[in-house]
Structure 1
């Protein structure tokens, strides 16, 4: 885990969904992230490191946010059409949105390019940090990941949020069973499990609320008690405009 003091600021951690699904459906969670930025035309930078800077992922981002934000993509693999930008450009953003893919690879590449310190500074200055799947995992101390093939515990996150995170909680086979087992055994610390199309909003390291853009998308705080793990449901606020 990166030895950084936890930065102040707002983080929105999505368990799945958002703009990245194909075919694209407007995302209420993404709209809420823009509202949190509190800017007429927010500057939003997408970081697709976890996918190896897959071009299609960046294109989906740009298409989804076109007309609503001033968009940019930080490509640490120097991919066309974006090339390479100095990561300090993140300090100029209202929102930094991290895509999914390999959590382990994302963390390794970010550290080589100095992103943990830059992201902490951006957050402390008021930039909203957001991310989906691996882009959720990265902010925690630890997480459930398939970066190595089979699902495995990873205790190597940035630590911007204490404890562990588990995205895709009910949306992917074995996610729930494995995560409960790792918390019960102590392989992962207590943490948050977030289903597809749901998210948690954290501020200064504390939970503000859980939100969802579809019904029946639960969020849990999972904690160890003796030799077992307890799922504690967190009240989820349905965002305005969500189907009932």
Structure 2
């Protein structure tokens, strides 16, 4: 089966491509650096010739409100036009657990717009909502840093390792479309501020973390249930300790 992975050279994309190729499928890793651009349309029609499944793992290069919305809307419209012309039978997209709860932030408004385009399309689909990747902990710490202090919400998070995300995406790719949403999450819950403090200490980073209920998470204020899944999620197998033990140190 021919499968096109949009964003196929990124963190989740490259791992998903590898898993599907190992199962014997023809997989196109589509991204601007391989000549496929969903914003300009460059190379898109050619990449989709003969494809049965398209997996959209692309992300906006900017988190600025207007840029994010334009990215997901433009990319989505171009992608669906090309998929319809190519006769694609299943569209899969990776989104975020809590998207509908975090619309104060422009990034999540962009993701919601993407999901609305998917649902309005005539192409059978599956949306995968994932909790935050463990690989993003460094970026989360940086987003809350002022001087030597990291200000973060004490709301719960349920981080998932990118390997577990790629396993789930590969399984969904080979399954029938559900015309609905499934959720995936890590096996453990933590307070965000406590997890980042633990991560920084293990990294030998001297920054201190302060719990701040009013601290925003990429533009949105968090509640305890904002970033975790209570919707019967598929749970990853990799714990934080296991992930950290095998992660490269920068």
- Asked if these proteins are the same fold (TM beyond 0.5), I'd say no
TM range (shorter): 0.3 to 0.5
More strand by share: 1
Rg bigger for which structure? 2
More helix by share: 2
Higher RCO, 1 vs 2 (CA within 8 Å, ≥6 residues apart): 1
